[in-house]
Amino acid sequence: MSDAAANKALLEIVYRRWNATKGGAVDELMAVFDDAVTFGSLADVASPAPLTAMAIGRHEVRGYVSGMLAAWSMIHYTVDTMIAEGDRVAVVGSTAWTNKATGKICETPKVDVWVFSNGRAVSFFEYFDTARMIAAAN
Protein backbone atom coordinates (compact mmCIF):
# COMPACT_ATOMS: atom_id res chain seq x y z
CA MET A 1 0.00 0.00 0.00
CA SER A 2 1.36 3.44 -0.91
CA ASP A 3 1.80 6.13 1.73
CA ALA A 4 -1.08 8.10 0.18
CA ALA A 5 -3.39 5.08 0.38
CA ALA A 6 -2.28 4.30 3.95
CA ASN A 7 -2.86 7.90 5.08
CA LYS A 8 -6.30 7.90 3.46
CA ALA A 9 -7.20 4.53 5.04
CA LEU A 10 -6.15 5.82 8.47
CA LEU A 11 -8.28 8.95 8.11
CA GLU A 12 -11.29 6.96 6.89
CA ILE A 13 -11.25 5.09 10.21
CA VAL A 14 -10.66 8.23 12.29
CA TYR A 15 -13.46 10.23 10.64
CA ARG A 16 -15.89 7.32 10.87
CA ARG A 17 -15.20 7.04 14.64
CA TRP A 18 -15.27 10.85 15.11
CA ASN A 19 -18.77 10.96 13.62
CA ALA A 20 -20.02 7.79 15.33
CA THR A 21 -18.90 9.02 18.77
CA LYS A 22 -20.02 12.62 18.11
CA GLY A 23 -16.53 13.85 19.01
CA GLY A 24 -15.87 11.27 21.72
CA ALA A 25 -12.94 9.62 19.93
CA VAL A 26 -10.47 12.31 20.99
CA ASP A 27 -7.63 9.91 21.82
CA GLU A 28 -8.00 8.19 18.43
CA LEU A 29 -7.88 11.57 16.70
CA MET A 30 -4.89 12.73 18.72
CA ALA A 31 -2.94 9.57 17.85
CA VAL A 32 -2.85 10.70 14.21
CA PHE A 33 -0.90 13.89 14.98
CA ASP A 34 2.86 14.22 15.14
CA ASP A 35 4.20 15.79 18.34
CA ALA A 36 5.18 18.94 16.40
CA VAL A 37 2.03 19.24 14.23
CA THR A 38 0.81 22.64 13.06
CA PHE A 39 -2.98 22.93 13.21
CA GLY A 40 -4.79 25.89 11.68
CA SER A 41 -8.31 27.05 11.02
CA LEU A 42 -9.87 29.45 8.56
CA ALA A 43 -11.57 31.07 11.58
CA ASP A 44 -8.11 32.02 12.95
CA VAL A 45 -9.32 33.41 16.30
CA ALA A 46 -12.41 35.06 14.86
CA SER A 47 -14.60 36.31 17.68
CA PRO A 48 -16.30 34.45 19.37
CA ALA A 49 -13.93 31.55 18.59
CA PRO A 50 -10.58 32.39 20.20
CA LEU A 51 -9.81 28.70 20.44
CA THR A 52 -9.29 28.60 16.65
CA ALA A 53 -5.84 30.21 16.91
CA MET A 54 -3.00 28.30 15.25
CA ALA A 55 -2.03 25.37 17.47
CA ILE A 56 1.53 24.08 17.46
CA GLY A 57 2.13 20.62 18.82
CA ARG A 58 -0.15 17.82 19.95
CA HIS A 59 -0.73 19.41 23.38
CA GLU A 60 -2.12 22.63 21.85
CA VAL A 61 -4.24 20.65 19.38
CA ARG A 62 -5.76 18.74 22.30
CA GLY A 63 -6.56 22.13 23.87
CA TYR A 64 -8.33 23.19 20.65
CA VAL A 65 -10.36 19.98 20.56
CA SER A 66 -11.21 20.19 24.28
CA GLY A 67 -12.31 23.81 23.91
CA MET A 68 -14.43 23.00 20.89
CA LEU A 69 -16.14 20.09 22.64
CA ALA A 70 -16.75 22.22 25.74
CA ALA A 71 -18.52 24.89 23.67
CA TRP A 72 -20.19 22.79 20.94
CA SER A 73 -22.04 19.47 20.59
CA MET A 74 -21.60 17.55 17.35
CA ILE A 75 -24.69 16.65 15.35
CA HIS A 76 -22.78 15.02 12.50
CA TYR A 77 -19.49 14.99 10.65
CA THR A 78 -20.11 13.66 7.16
CA VAL A 79 -17.32 12.80 4.75
CA ASP A 80 -18.29 12.90 1.09
CA THR A 81 -14.89 12.22 -0.43
CA MET A 82 -11.20 11.92 0.36
CA ILE A 83 -8.48 12.73 -2.12
CA ALA A 84 -5.00 11.41 -1.37
CA GLU A 85 -1.89 12.23 -3.32
CA GLY A 86 1.68 12.04 -2.13
CA ASP A 87 1.85 13.20 1.48
CA ARG A 88 -1.51 15.05 1.39
CA VAL A 89 -5.10 14.06 2.03
CA ALA A 90 -8.03 16.40 1.41
CA VAL A 91 -11.28 15.53 3.17
CA VAL A 92 -14.45 17.10 1.74
CA GLY A 93 -17.80 16.94 3.48
CA SER A 94 -20.02 18.77 5.91
CA THR A 95 -20.54 19.08 9.62
CA ALA A 96 -23.11 20.44 12.03
CA TRP A 97 -22.68 21.46 15.65
CA THR A 98 -24.93 22.99 18.31
CA ASN A 99 -23.50 25.84 20.34
CA LYS A 100 -24.04 24.90 23.99
CA ALA A 101 -24.43 28.50 25.16
CA THR A 102 -26.91 29.69 22.52
CA GLY A 103 -28.58 26.45 21.41
CA LYS A 104 -28.06 27.57 17.79
CA ILE A 105 -26.88 25.16 15.10
CA CYS A 106 -24.00 25.73 12.71
CA GLU A 107 -24.24 23.52 9.61
CA THR A 108 -21.40 24.08 7.18
CA PRO A 109 -19.49 22.58 4.29
CA LYS A 110 -16.08 21.44 5.54
CA VAL A 111 -12.70 20.78 3.95
CA ASP A 112 -9.74 19.49 5.93
CA VAL A 113 -6.27 19.37 4.39
CA TRP A 114 -3.77 17.01 6.01
CA VAL A 115 -0.03 16.64 5.38
CA PHE A 116 1.67 13.46 6.57
CA SER A 117 5.25 12.42 7.23
CA ASN A 118 6.17 8.91 8.34
CA GLY A 119 2.54 8.00 9.03
CA ARG A 120 1.79 10.99 11.28
CA ALA A 121 0.02 14.25 10.50
CA VAL A 122 2.52 17.11 10.55
CA SER A 123 0.07 19.73 9.27
CA PHE A 124 -3.71 20.19 9.35
CA PHE A 125 -5.81 23.10 8.11
CA GLU A 126 -9.61 23.33 8.19
CA TYR A 127 -11.92 25.37 5.98
CA PHE A 128 -15.55 26.01 6.91
CA ASP A 129 -18.19 28.74 6.85
CA THR A 130 -16.94 30.98 9.64
CA ALA A 131 -19.92 33.35 9.30
CA ARG A 132 -22.30 30.50 10.15
CA MET A 133 -20.13 29.52 13.12
CA ILE A 134 -20.07 33.10 14.43
CA ALA A 135 -23.85 33.47 13.94
CA ALA A 136 -24.49 30.29 15.92
CA ALA A 137 -22.22 31.45 18.74
CA ASN A 138 -23.91 34.85 19.12
3-state DSSP call for residue 22?
A: coil
Judge whether 133 and 106 are in contact, CB under 8 Å: yes
- Backbone dihedral region for residue 45 (phi beyond 0: left; psi -120 to 50: alpha; all else: beta): left
How far apart are the C-alpha atoms of 74 and 91, rounded to whole Å? 18
pLDDT in tens, the chain (138 residues): 689 999 999 999 999 999 999 999 999 999 999 999 999 988 776 655 666 678 899 999 999 999 999 999 999 999 999 999 999 999 999 999 999 999 999 999 999 999 999 999 999 999 999 889 989 999
**Which residue ranges form the domains of the chain, and what is each CATH number?**
3-137 (3.10.450.50)
Rounded to whole angstroms, how far apart are CA atoms 105 and 72? 9
Interatomic CA distance for residues 116 and 34, integer angstroms: 9
- Can you tell me the distance from the alpha carbon of 71 to that of 43, in angstroms, rounded to the nearest whole number? 15
Q: Which residues, 6 or more positions from 87, have their beta carbon under 8 angstroms from its beta carbon?
A: 3, 4, 7, 115, 116, 117
